[in-house]
Amino acid sequence: MELKPSLSRQQTYKCLILGDSGVGKSTFLRRHATGQFRDEHVPTKGVQVYTLLLQTNYQDLALELWDVAGDERHGGLLNGYFFFAQCAIIMFDLNVARSAISVARWLHSLEQICGKQLPVVICGNKSELERMPLDLLYHQQGNLDYCEMSARVAWNLEAPLELLCRRLLQRNDLKLISQPTLRPIASCSCDEAEMRQHMEQVRQQILPEKSEETFSYKGGNFKDCIVLN
Ligand SMILES: Nc1nc2c(ncn2[C@@H]2O[C@H](COP(=O)(O)OP(=O)(O)OP(=O)(O)O)[C@@H](O)[C@H]2O)c(=O)[nH]1
Ligand SMILES: [Mg+2]
């Protein structure tokens, strides 16, 4: 995929990338932008904006991706970034329970400023690693969706973008037609079928319509930490 801000304003959508520090937001963007994977964690300061041009089976569009620092000391959660956002990816680390619990907080902050109808994809990253004991529940009401990926092995990297484009253009059968041509980094092996099966299990745990929870995590020692929206 290309990073090229060449589309008109009408075809360009502001997309926030939110989530705790270290979950892999910048890595995800760097993978799309340059194909590279960096082992060390260099925390983002404030915000970095990239424009990603996407080709779909319906039309081309551009996502203006706002990579927001996950650590509040570096300027994360500053409401100013949220204004005029049209969609968002909220990322967490499938190995770090605390980051899954934080999803509800990020979602709440976002909804307070942008409203509940904003298309949002909750995205679990690092799926190639051993996962925390997991019981994630999410609510598919409104424009919320869920996927998992691994920026390290370049698995399912296009999924959050494709899901957002479907919501933005209101086309359930939309497909990205320019797939990233990224390869897993050397010395990294994983079981794609197993990762996909896990993701589908979570996707099927849809909360009942009337539930108050938008996204919750139950597992391990965190049973008391179910977060209500
Ligand atoms: N194993 C594994 N590590 C990953 C993956 N994606 C990112 N990482 C690692 O996670 C660490 C943090 O990645 P970043 O992309 O800098 O995290 P961030 O969410 O942008 O963090 P802040 O900028 O501090 O908010 C780095 O050490 C990456 O190498 C993945 O899919 N698998
Ligand atoms: Mg970052």
37-80 pLDDT, tens digit each: 999 999 998 888 888 889 999 999 999 999 988 987 766 556 67
CA distances from 100 to 110, 169, 200 (A): 16, 28, 17
Question: At 229, is the pLDDT very low, low, confident or very high (cuts 50, 70, 90)?
Answer: very low
Q: Whose CA is nearest to atom 13 of ligand 1?
A: 24
Contact 78, 2 (CB under 8 A): no
180 lines ligand 1 (CB under 6 A): no
Ion ligand 2 neighbours, Cβ < 5 Å: 25-26, 44
150 lines ligand 1 (CB under 6 A): yes
182-219 pLDDT, tens digit each: 555 555 667 778 888 888 877 776 655 555 555 665 54
Looking up tokens 């849809």 gives 206
What does residue 153 show for φ and ψ, rounded to 5 degrees? Answer: -95, 10
Contact 120, 88 (CB under 8 A): yes
Residue 134 CA to ligand 1 centre (angstroms): 20
pTM: predicted TM-score of the whole model, two decimal places: 0.84
Alpha helix (H) residue ranges in 3-85: 25-34, 79-82
Identify the pLDDT of residue 172.
92
Contact 151, 24 (CB under 8 A): yes
Q: Which of the pair, 211 or 169, is modelled with greater confidence?
A: 169
Question: What is the number of the ligand 1 atom nearest to the C-alpha of 128?
Answer: 32
Structure-derived torsion over alpha carbons of residues 152, 70, 120, 108, reported in degrees to the nearest 10:
150
Output b/e per residue, 12-37; b: 16+ Cβ within 10 A: bbbbbbbbbbbbbbbbbbbbbbeeeb
Domains of the chain: 2-227 (3.40.50.300)
Contact 156, 148 (CB under 8 A): yes
Angle at 213 between CA 209 and CA 218, to 5 degrees: 120
Q: Residue 178 pLDDT more than 80?
A: no
69-106 pLDDT, tens digit each: 898 776 655 667 888 899 999 999 999 988 988 888 88
H or E element, residue 175: none
- Strands 87-93 vs 136-138: parallel, antiparallel or unpaired: unpaired
Contact 37, 30 (CB under 8 A): yes
Q: Which ligand is nearest to the CA of 22?
A: 1
56 lines ligand 1 (CB under 6 A): no
What are residue 125's DSSP bridge partners? Answer: 93
